[in-house]
Each structure stands twice: as C-alpha cells, then as structure tokens.
Amino acid sequence: MDHNYVGMLLDNETGSAGFSDAEMASYALSELILLSDGSYAQSVGFPREEIDFVTEKYFGTTINN
C-alpha cells in the first residue's frame, strides 16, 4: 500500500510520548481518502468508527479529542 503521508509522522513533535490526536487524525484521514478511490466528499467526511479502526490498527489507540 502506498503511504504518502509517512513523512508527517516522522516529524512527530511529541517525541517518545507517542503521537498527538491531531497527528493520528491526519494520518487516518489521509489513509481513508486513499482507500476511498476518489469517492471522498469533504462535506460528508468519514464515520468515527472508520477513523478509530485506522488509528487502532496503526497506533494501537483511538483519538480522544
């Protein structure tokens, strides 16, 4: 799978404390947009469950804020 947004995670400002909610949300949205094959509508967004699935898969947690 093509991960165009990995660079944003490598610039993690929180250091060893893990990733911020904003960083995880950005990555999850980027991943879901890539998987949507062009059917993404910004005005609709993605269900919270899909975002949680991505963050749980890649970060082992969900977004709190």
Q: For residue range 3-60, list pLDDT tens digits in order.
A: 555 555 555 555 556 788 998 999 999 899 989 887 888 888 899 999 999 999 999 9
Question: What is the structure's pLDDT at 56?
Answer: 95
pTM over 0.85: no
What's the Cα-to-Cα distance from 52 to each of 14, 15, 21, 27, rounded to whole Å? Answer: 20, 22, 11, 11
Question: What is the structure's pLDDT at 42?
Answer: 82
Contact indicator for 59, 19 with CB cutoff of 8 Å: yes
Question: What is the structure's pLDDT at 1?
Answer: 44
Question: What is the structure's pLDDT at 13?
Answer: 58
